């Protein structure tokens, strides 16, 4: 079973037990549990579920393992014959997540809703 989840504007393919590096989530501390509701796609035993925008009732639970910075990327700008050179470095901050559980609660169909209202009456 795997899912495609939108986390801070980017899409990630996750499975239960995976460790995922996402853009830094500032408001969440290490060891806390996080729930993501924007699940776009779920594949379970060759059964595929795709949401119009997102899948209603689908959630992905994850635990924050830690925060950090990735390796330094060097950005070097150079203009030939002008003696113009700039060298800058950048380290992208990230949050390390452990995916705990992917859950789906199927929304009720119109037939089921009609049947439940008839039983109450």
Per residue, what are the HEC states of 60-100? EEEEEEEEEECCCEEEEEEECCCCEEEEEEECCEEEEEEEE
The number of domains in the chain is 1
| Range of weakest confidence among 7-11, 78-82, 109-113 | 109-113
Please state whether beta strands 19-23 and 73-79 pair in parallel, antiparallel, or not at all (unpaired): unpaired
Q: Which of 90, 83, 87, 96 is nearest to 32 (CA)?
A: 96
Residue 46: what pLDDT?
Answer: 85
- Contact criterion met (CB below 8 Å) for 98 and 62: yes
* Residue of 59, 64, 58 whose CA lies nearest to 98: 64
Q: Which position has the token pair 């995916």?
A: 99
pLDDT interval class at 43 (50, 70, 90): very high
Nearest Cα neighbor of 57 from 15, 92, 23, 107 is 107
The residue segments making up the domain with residue 71 are 2-120
């Amino acid at each position: 079973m795997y899912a495609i989840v939108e986390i801070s504007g980017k899409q990630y393919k996750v499975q239960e037990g995976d460790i995922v590096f996402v853009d830094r989530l500032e408001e969440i501390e290490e060891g806390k549990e996080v729930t993501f509701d924007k699940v776009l796609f779920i594949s379970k035993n060759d059964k595929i579920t795709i949401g119009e925008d997102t899948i209603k009732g689908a959630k992905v639970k994850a635990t924050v393992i830690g925060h950090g910075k990735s390796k330094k990327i060097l950005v070097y700008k150079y203009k030939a014959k002008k003696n113009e050179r700039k060298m800058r470095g950048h380290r992208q901050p990230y949050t390390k997540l452990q995916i705990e559980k992917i859950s789906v609660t199927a929304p009720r169909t119109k037939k089921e809703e009609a049947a439940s209202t008839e039983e109450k009456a």
